[in-house]
Amino acid sequence: MIIVMKTTATEDELNHLVEHVEQLGLKANVLRGTERTVVAAIGDERVEGVRALESAPGVDNVMPVLAPYKLASREAHTETSVIKAGSLEIGGKQIGMIAGPCSVESEEQIVETAKAVKAAGATALRGGAFKPRTSPYSFQGMKEDGLKLLATARDETGLAIVTEVVSPEDVDLVSKYADVLQIGARNMQNYRLLEACGKSSAAVLLKRGPSATIDETLLAAEYVLDGGNGNVMICERGIRTFESHTRFTLPLATVPYLQQKTHLPVVIDPSHGTGHTSLVPAMAKAAIAAGADGVIVEVHPDPENAKSDGYQTLCFSDFDKMMGECRRIAEAVDRTL
Ligand code: PEP
Ligand code: MN
């Protein structure tokens, strides 16, 4: 961490600062410039109290140099983590393709979808049983009955199940059925939920909140990792901007940026990221071209009559066509799908 002193800082203020830095367990190196004095504080700057040094007399500015997250950082773990959860493998050469409806609606709907997406090459089945809806009047999901139908779909196809958990009390229940616990965008900063998922043996797909920064997203992942669950993947699903032609704005630079900062696999959600069926295949292909480790996409037997998010959902034939195109992109970037 670099601490910049004010031009008016006195020698007493500098000495006081050096003492305080050393009390925090850091080593203070004083560097006197022609206009300003700066103090380079060496050691683990993530300790409590460091940022408050900005309030010490004579201090102008405190600039951390280490990322605020530790376990999620690429410095801590230079190789990309490969996560295996049933049929889903993500983070290696193989691209994870997670496909299925926004919500589980019936046995026929989920089993039919599971078979269709598997035949097209998907490596996991998504489907929400607990739905976090913006409106309380919208379909809230089939809850445990939906989880049982997901288990049936897994039995029939062998596909790993990715499904959302919305509250800490439900983590044990959802973990009984799921291979991957999805933490939704609206819940990214629900710290009790993150802690509870940290204790689960199921992998976690953590979605970025629509107004969360990358650092906040990685700190949310840090909660799960710190709880003892190392199987976390980060999902970019779009952020809120002034633009309204798409439901959210899907920033694909997140893929290489996250891959520089973290060893956790990166997944892109082109369904929520665009909010329009017609835009999904292009963004899925772009995600793979950008180096994404996985894609999560909404697929339904009859999108027009889906109980949620039909406007951004692919039908089986569109998904199959998209998979063929994605496979060619994957090959071009030396991945398999
Ligand atoms: C979903 O995956 O259906 C969902 C609700 O996603 P998000 O949390 O990204 O809005
Ligand atoms: Mn959805």
pLDDT digits (tens, 9 = 90+) for 137-185: 999 999 999 999 999 999 999 999 999 999 999 999 999 999 999 999 9
Give residue ranges with CB within 6 A of ligand 1.
Answer: 102, 128, 132, 184-186, 207, 237, 269, 272
> Is residue 46 predicted with pLDDT exceeding 90?
no
Helix (H) or strand (E) holding 88: strand 88-90
* Cα 232 to middle of ligand 1, angstroms: 17
Task: State which ligand 1 atom lies nearest to the alpha carbon of 103.
Answer: 3
Of 33-47, 79-93, 224-238, 269-283, which gets the smallest average pLDDT?
33-47
> Is residue 192 predicted with pLDDT exceeding 90?
yes
Please, which residues have CB less than 5 A from ligand 2, an ion? 102, 309
pLDDT digits (tens, 9 = 90+) for 112-137: 999 999 999 999 999 999 999 999 99
> Is residue 299 predicted with pLDDT exceeding 90?
yes
pLDDT, mean over the chain: 97
* Cα 139 to middle of ligand 2, angstroms: 11
Pairing of strands 266-268, 232-236: parallel
> What pLDDT, on a 0 to 100 scale, did the predictor assign at position 230?
98
* Cα 126 to middle of ligand 1, angstroms: 11
> Is residue 234 predicted with pLDDT exceeding 90?
yes
Can you count the helices (H) and strands (E) in the chain?
10, 14
Residue to mutate (ligand 1; options 142, 186, 311; most atoms within 8 A of CB): 186
Task: State which ligand 1 atom lies nearest to the alpha carbon of 308.
Answer: 3
Question: pTM for the whole thing?
Answer: 0.95
In angstroms, the CA 206 to CA 264 distance is 11
- 3-state DSSP: the chain helix, strand, coil percent, rounded to 5? 40, 20, 40
In angstroms, the CA 198 to CA 175 distance is 12
The share of the chain scoring above pLDDT 70, in percent, equals: 100
CA 84 from chain centre, in angstroms, equals 16
72 Cβ contact partners less than 8 Å away, ≥ 6 residues apart: 218, 219, 221, 222, 225, 232, 261, 262, 263, 264
